[in-house]
C-alpha cells in the first residue's frame, strides 16, 4: 500500500466490438476519485496525481474518504447493476416497480451492514453516493455482459458480500440468491440448458 492510493472511477460506458465507449457529459461521467487511506490527506502523492491530470480535461477529485467512496461505488454496483440484470430490463424498472425497488433495498441493507461491521461509515459520503442520471432504457455493465454472452463480475459483487458476510456472521440472503441467479444466467449463455427433444433422459422433480 505504500505505493498505492485508494481510487475509483464513475463513468457511463458500454462495450462494443471496437472497444469501450463512454459519455463524457458531466452529468453522466463523474470521473476519477482518489485519496489516501489516512492523514495526511494532502500528501505529496495526492499532489503528484493532481499535477499529472492538470490540463488534460479529465475530471478528477481528491477525497479524505477514499475507502468510504470505494464502498459507496461497491454498493452502487450491487444495488443498481444486479437486479436489472436478473430481469433483463432497463434501469427504469427501479422507478416503475415496487418489487424491483424492494430487491434493490434488500441488497443495499446487506452491503451497508457489512460495511458498518468493517468500520466503514457510508454516511460520510452521502452527498456523493448516488450514481449519474441515465435514461430508463440504460443497461449497466452486468446486464451488458449477459446481453453479449460474457461472464459477469458477480464474484466480486455478491460473491464478495457472501464471503464477507460468512466471515462476519452477517446473513446475506438477497446477495446469495442474486449470486446464484446470475451464475445460472451465465450457464444459460454458455449453452448448459440447450436441451434437445432427442434427449429423453428423465429428470425427477422433488
- Look at residue 127 in the predicted model and tell me its pLDDT: 75
Q: What confidence score (pLDDT) does residue 131 get? A: 67
Place of cell 459519455: 23
56-62: which pairs have CB atoms within 8 A and are 24 or more residues apart?
A: 58/31, 58/32, 59/26, 59/29, 59/30, 59/31, 59/32, 60/31, 60/32, 60/33, 60/34, 61/30, 61/31, 61/32, 61/33, 61/34, 62/33, 62/34, 62/35
d(CA 161, CA 138): 25
Output 82 or 206, whichever has higher pLDDT: 82
Asked if residues 38 and 6 have their Cβ atoms less than 8 Å apart, the reply is no
- pTM summary value: 0.87
The predicted model gives 177-203 an average pLDDT of 94
By CB neighbour count within 10 A (0-12 exposed, 13-18 middle, 19+ buried), where does 167 fall?
A: exposed
At 110, list the grid cell.
446487506
Domain ranges of the chain: 6-189
Tell me the H-state helices in the chain: 44-53, 66-76, 82-87, 92-96, 98-117, 141-147, 158-168, 173-189
Please give the grid coordinates belonging to residue 113.
Answer: 451492514
Cα gap 24→2, rounded to integer Å: 32
State the chain's mean pLDDT as an integer: 92
Residue 65 has pLDDT above 90, yes or no: yes
6-189: CATH topology is 1.10.1040
What percent of the chain has pLDDT above 70?
Answer: 98
Q: What is the pLDDT of residues 116-161, one digit of tens each?
A: 999 999 999 987 766 677 889 999 999 999 999 999 999 999 999 9
Give how far Cα 102 sits from Cα of 64, 106, 135, 201, Å: 32, 6, 21, 39
Q: How confident is the model at residue 19 (pLDDT cuts 50, 70, 90)?
A: confident
Dist. CA 76–CA 18, nearest whole Å: 27
Amino acid at each position: 500500500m505504500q505505493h498505492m492510493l485508494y481510487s475509483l472511477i464513475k463513468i457511463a460506458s458500454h462495450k462494443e466490438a471496437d472497444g469501450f465507449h463512454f459519455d463524457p457529459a458531466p452529468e453522466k461521467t463523474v470521473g476519477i476519485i482518489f485519496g489516501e487511506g489516512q492523514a495526511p490527506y494532502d500528501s505529496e502523492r495526492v499532489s503528484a496525481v493532481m499535477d499529472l491530470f492538470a490540463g488534460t480535461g479529465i475530471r478528477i477529485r481528491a477525497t479524505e474518504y477514499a475507502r468510504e467512496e470505494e464502498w459507496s461505488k461497491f454498493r452502487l454496483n450491487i444495488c443498481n447493476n444486479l437486479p436489472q440484470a436478473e430481469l433483463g430490463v432497463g434501469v427504469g424498472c427501479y422507478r416503475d416497480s415496487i418489487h424491483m425497488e424492494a430487491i434493490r433495498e434488500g441488497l443495499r441493507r446487506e452491503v451497508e451492514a457489512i460495511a458498518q461491521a468493517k468500520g466503514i461509515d457510508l454516511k460520510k459520503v452521502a452527498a456523493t453516493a448516488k450514481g449519474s442520471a441515465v435514461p430508463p432504457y440504460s443497461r449497466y455493465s452486468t446486464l451488458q455482459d449477459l446481453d453479449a454472452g460474457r461472464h459477469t463480475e458477480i464474484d466480486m459483487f455478491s460473491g464478495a458480500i457472501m464471503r464477507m458476510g460468512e466471515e462476519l456472521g452477517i446473513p446475506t440472503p438477497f446477495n446469495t440468491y442474486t449470486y446464484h441467479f446470475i451464475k445460472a444466467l451465465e450457464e444459460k449463455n454458455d449453452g448448459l440448458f440447450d436441451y434437445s427433444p432427442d434427449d429423453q433422459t428423465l429428470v425427477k422433480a422433488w
